[in-house]
Structure 1
Amino acid sequence: MDRYLEAYAVMSNWRASHQFPLNTFKINLRERARRIDEHAFVAQRLKRAPSIIAKLSRFPNMRLTQMQDIGGCRAVLSTLHDVTLLRDALKSSRIKHRLVNEKDYITTPKEDGYRGIHLVYRYVSDRKETYNNHSVEIQIRTNLQHAWATAVETVGTLIGQGLKADQGEKVWLDFFALVSAAFAIREGVNGPREFDELRTILREMERELHVIDRLTAFQRVMKAAIADPDRRLAAYFLMVLDARNEEVNVLSYASDEFDQATAEYKRVEEAAKPGVDAVLVVADSAHALRVAYPNYFGDTSLFIAELRNIIADIDQYD
């Protein structure tokens, strides 16, 4: 037990050390994203301990220092064209930080249907050498890709399965992979030849799984409690999702309270209560949290609307 606590402390400290370089990347990402799409939103997060531990378990030879997504920034834009423009703008910029990995999951989606662009940078600075070589992962998605990923996480929480990590019942994994394919057609990535066949299959699967009813019910009952009534000066937000009690608590911290925020983050994670999930993020406002992390609030409105359109009668929507 002592070894576990010691290892957990090392992991927590290493994770917390990513906050400074993460802030640097987020500022640059937000500026560039909003030049391209004024409606773009950007947020950042430190990877959850259960996700770190699960990843190390899946890859036994991986060291903590080799993990590239402990610190992550996410930009969500309106269109695929905007996503491409932002990726190209980041890659052509003259920043000192080194691009060490790039994954185009739009051209070549993951087997589970995940789509998006991932860019991994190594932080490089002459002034803050302490953080040199820390990795930061940038994710770029469209609103529809983000809606899909949100629904995967939300349903995974509801049924207690790690769908996000491609773990769980095959019927659920197949369902989301097919929805991703249908979404890709709607965004113009794939041709429309298979759309009618996809629509028929998804209609049958939705009736079997009651996806829309489940998500709608969860969205309706979720309650959000914001601990700090004055959030104008908040820099960090700790979101704690309690799926069993159908509520999310959001604690906010000022820019000089990062140590306090990480200590509470660690406390919640160490408690490891069933059905409780937490993440420490930086967003422009409490409202932006709902946009950047809708799965914590049960907000799957866009996914539900798009799925309804896909499975509706052909002659009504074609």
Structure 2
Amino acid sequence: MDVLSYWRFSHEKALDSAFNLLQDIARKKDKATIFAKRLKRYASIVAKLRRFEQMKLKNMQDIGGCRAIVANEKKLRQLVRDLRKRSEFKTAQGKIRSKDYIKNPKDDGYRGYHLIGQFSGDNSEKKSIEIQIRTALQHDWATALEIVDLFTGQALKSNRGDAAWKTFFRNISRQFAIMESIHLFDTLTPRQKFETYGEVILNNKSLIEACRDAKQSSEKLSVVDTLQAFAHGLKIVDERLSQVLVTGYALIEVNTKKKQVSVSIFSDDMNAEAEERYIQCEKTAAATDHLVVALVSTTAVGGLKEAYPNYFADSTDFVRHLLLINSLELPKGGGSIWSDFYRRLFRWREK
């Protein structure tokens, strides 16, 4: 644990450099961009070492990572284009280390764009830092999957877990991709989203079948009710999180047994204390399966809960779009699509 922690925190300076660069470029494309950064959790590092036989700690490229969440794919592509011009993302041979999971989604349905850059760390030694760029809808999907992992004890993110949940997230990813293919979809009202999405689906037989699969997998798991239960059952110790103004780190501790999340704030001049507390908490978490800890940046635009909704079981935006799918009346069905759509949407908002 001590060796791992030493190596992880040696990425801190490089991570800050990458994060500052990402902020400078992304804000020119989308002023409402949400940013997040983190040093990889102990549990995630160990799981990755075990999952890939040839993986070594020194070769792991995402020990430090930061993320930008933009409104839509057009802005994402603009941001990617500008980042790819930077020398930090080019190897000595001029190649760019990147993965386009939007054009080629992962097997589980994950979509996003990843870049690996080299940034100066301690003693000017270069460290690999991963930058993830996602649209808001892609982030909603990833957040929902992480919430299910966190509160059910699965590892869907590592492609390990219940087959029914795997099927559900793959199916929903395909539907979200269809939504994002609609021009200016993110700017539409809920009713407009429903109409345009429904029009695309109902004009294509294969899309109708794909939508039916998504609806069935959602209903089989009672996903809306399940996610709602996670959110309502979680006690947040400090409700003033949106008022956090200091620059530094936040230590998030989630106890899935007690259904409780607590946050400790550390300003920039308390980094050493934050690191020490984080290591202590991780040692405790490593000995049990109901504690999850993460050390994240407090500089997130919009607050911690907006940048890291998974730790607070907040799947509100995911559910809103899931209801578009669940409420679409497909051929051979009956009843009013509008009455069912708004009944379920307003019921969720009221709760």
The amino acid across from 2:53 in the alignment is P
Residue 245 (str. 1) matches residue 266 (str. 2): no
Contact 1:117 1:140 in 2 (8 A): yes
Residue 204 (str. 1) matches residue 213 (str. 2): no
Between stretches 27-36 and 230-239, larger displacement belongs to 230-239
Aligned counterparts of 2:180 and 2:82: Cα–Cα separation in 1 = 22
- Runs of 4 or more, structure 1, over 4 Å off, are 94-100, 227-230
| Counterpart in the other structure of 2:324 | 309
Pairing 1:292-307 to 2, within 5 Å after superposition: 292-307=307-322
Between stretches 148-157 and 96-105, larger displacement belongs to 96-105
Pairing 1:1-318 to 2, within 5 Å after superposition: 8-93=1-86, 98=91, 101-124=97-120, 130-188=123-181, 192=201, 193=204, 194-226=206-238, 231-272=244-285, 273-284=288-299, 287-314=302-329, 316=337
TM-superposed deviation, 1:207:
1.9
Change (3 A) 1:285 1:137: closer
TM-superposed deviation, 1:96:
8.3
Q: Secondary structure at the match of 1:265?
A: helix
Change (3 A) 1:170 1:162: same
The amino acid across from 1:316 in the alignment is I
The amino acid across from 1:169 in the alignment is D
The amino acid across from 1:209 in the alignment is L
Q: Secondary structure at the match of 1:232?
A: coil
**TM-score w.r.t. structure 2 length?**
0.82
TM-superposed deviation, 1:30:
1.1
Q: Secondary structure at the match of 2:108?
A: coil
Aligned counterparts of 1:9 and 1:225: Cα–Cα separation in 2 = 29
Gaps of 5+ in 1: 1-7
**TM-score w.r.t. structure 1 length?**
0.90
TM-superposed deviation, 1:260:
0.9
TM-superposed deviation, 1:218:
1.2
Change (3 A) 1:311 1:131: farther
Contact 2:34 2:301 in 1 (8 A): no
Change (3 A) 1:172 1:204: same
Aligned counterparts of 2:301 and 2:81: Cα–Cα separation in 1 = 30
Aligned counterparts of 2:89 and 2:213: Cα–Cα separation in 1 = 49
| Counterpart in the other structure of 1:3 | none
TM-superposed deviation, 1:179:
0.5
TM-superposed deviation, 1:31:
1.7
Between stretches 138-147 and 206-215, larger displacement belongs to 206-215
Q: Percent identity?
A: 35
| Counterpart in the other structure of 2:349 | none
Between stretches 225-234 and 107-116, larger displacement belongs to 225-234
TM-superposed deviation, 1:286:
8.8
Contact 1:36 1:82 in 2 (8 A): yes
Aligned counterparts of 1:274 and 1:107: Cα–Cα separation in 2 = 35
